[in-house]
Amino acid sequence: MSESEARPTNFIRQIIDTDLASGKHTSIHTRFPPEPNGYLHIGHAKSICLNFGIAQDYQGQCNLRFDDTNPEKEDIEYVESIKNDVNWLGFEWSGEICYSSNYFDQLHGFAIELINKGLAYVDELSPEQMREYRGTLTQAGKHSPYRDRSVEENLALFEKMKNGEVEEGKMCLRAKIDMASPFMVMRDPVIYRVRFANHHQTGDKWCIYPMYDFTHCISDALEGITHSICTLEFMDNRRLYDWVLENITIDCTPHQYEFSRLNLEYTVMSKRKLNQLVTDKLVNGWDDPRMPTISGLRRRGFTPGSMREFCKRIGVTKQDNTIEISSLESCIRDDLNENASRAMAVLDPVKVVIENFDGETETLMVANHPNKPEMGTREVPFSRELYIEGEDFREEANKKYKRLVLGKEVRLRGAYVIQAERIEKDAEGNITTIYCTYDKDTLGKNPADGRKVKGVIHWVSAEAGIAAEIRLYDRLFTVPNPGAADDFVSVINPESLTVLHGFIEPSLVTAEAEKAYQFERIGYFCADNKDSSADHLVFNRTVGLRDTWAKIGD
């Protein structure tokens, strides 16, 4: 991460400053604990930047810990993708990667301790009965008929669960807390359940698995975490977090702090819904550039710096809100406007023939960035036949139209002034060829006789240009809050992906995957990191040059 990126401040950092000043802590230890049941999305990027950023700025430590207590939904593919995402964003975890499954033996021991203290019992209520017994927000729950089993009976039954002698759903281990608590999470929560599932780290060693709320706080304590930072939906769970640590024999007692999760317009952040999009093939995988996943945004051309800048701009608060997607797009525009090399591509080609050009193909030297000479120049071939954008020519136009008009002049970017003389059309009336002349004395300078040429258009040599597939990505949903729709699938944007077949200048043949380019006058693009090859070049639009959606909404 760049040292020049300004250090942010927020209420969590203020707490840390106070804790260090008071001597409560002498060093800071955070963690990022994703569940490996899907790819990370931009909301996770906010948490990554917060936890790793704090460790970095306070010369502390930040663990990467996989919360892997639900083997049926987890996969090693997700583990690897998460590691890649953290590294790509510019962060390194402290020491070895941690897994909650590393602590299964200790977690089992703490469960035994709670049973021996009379604070946990094996329950045989069905899931339906358990919901009925739990009560409601306005009505207290009632005790399970199995709640007052003896310690010896609970130990024996828990051992049977551990040994695989109990069917799934027939028994579970519950904490004995308070069925009348106004907080539902404290009404004798389940802390262990039976699952006959192969685990990606422990194989078939276990057939009982601890629940998140039991595992998370103990994992934090075992790792010496000082500030356990999570999102607001876990605020009530803090009571259970503290209860578990207060009732087991453990040295470290970390504290949980909550901040608001990231809600972003025109996206869904629910892993269940993202998984549905992938499973139902409504998108082309977790890394589809329309997805809000980190890998999808990366494939689309977003940079680590733009993502970190976005997370810095939106800040860390306790106030739930929804961020306009234009804020995210502004960050990548600012980044790429400054750092992306320029190039030319024609997405909707129409042929131009320069009738008075009789020589060999010329090689022009064109700047890679208009304001950064240090980025150098590139060779761009100029030939008798060119391609320009269909929308850059009109037979007739008013004075506001600054592009090519029949009988008038325009400048080709980095090249000559041309004038349209005549056109050819096909049987349907579509323009197939524009015949032009050029002023050979206008390379890099204005016409000698002082006439004004106001318009500039981009172009590609028809002889040297390379065919390419251009993918124009747009917002995946047509409404700002698709999660609020009765059926979020029904508001998918049918025009979220448009595939065009155009031509690019030859310098782009060697474009590295994910490297950003500004296609002049069109937008920012990058070579696809999956489908693009020397035989079939594919470029993804990262973002347009300006926010066209804002205009549509006006």
Which positions make up the binding site for L-glutamine? 67, 212
Look up residue 477 and give its DSSP letter.
Answer: B
- 230 in Cβ contact with 241 (< 8 Å): no
- Would you call 35 a catalytic residue per the annotation? yes
Binding residues: 35-37, 41-47, 67, 212, 231, 261-262, 269-271
Residues 100 and 68: beta-carbon distance below 8 Å: yes
Task: Show the tokens assigned to 132.
Answer: 């009925």
Q: What is the CA 7 to chain-centroid distance, rounded?
A: 22
Distance CA 206, CA 204 (A): 6
Q: Do 310 and 334 form a contact (C-beta atoms < 8 A)?
A: no
Secondary structure element (H or E) that encloses residue 345, with its range: strand 345-346
Q: Provide the strand spans (E) within 33-70.
A: 61-66
Contacts of 548 (CB under 8 A, 6+ apart): none
Two structure tokens written together for 337: 């406007």
Choice among 35, 124, 324, 469 that is catalytic: 35
Concerning whether 261 is annotated as a catalytic residue, the answer is yes
Pairing mode of beta strands 538-544, 377-382: unpaired
Annotated active-site residue in 261, 408, 413, 515: 261
Backbone angles phi, psi at 18, to 5 degrees: -65, -45
* H helix count then E strand count, the chain: 13, 29
A 10 A CB-CB count for 335 gives 21
- Rg, Å, the chain Cα set: 30
Q: In the block, which residue shows the tokens 């139209």?
A: 401
Which position among 160, 271, 402, 408 bears the catalytic label?
A: 271
Six-digit token string for 510: 């060697």
Task: Cite the annotated binding site for ATP by residue number.
Answer: 35-37, 41-47, 231, 261-262, 269-271
Q: Which residues are catalytic?
A: 35, 261, 271
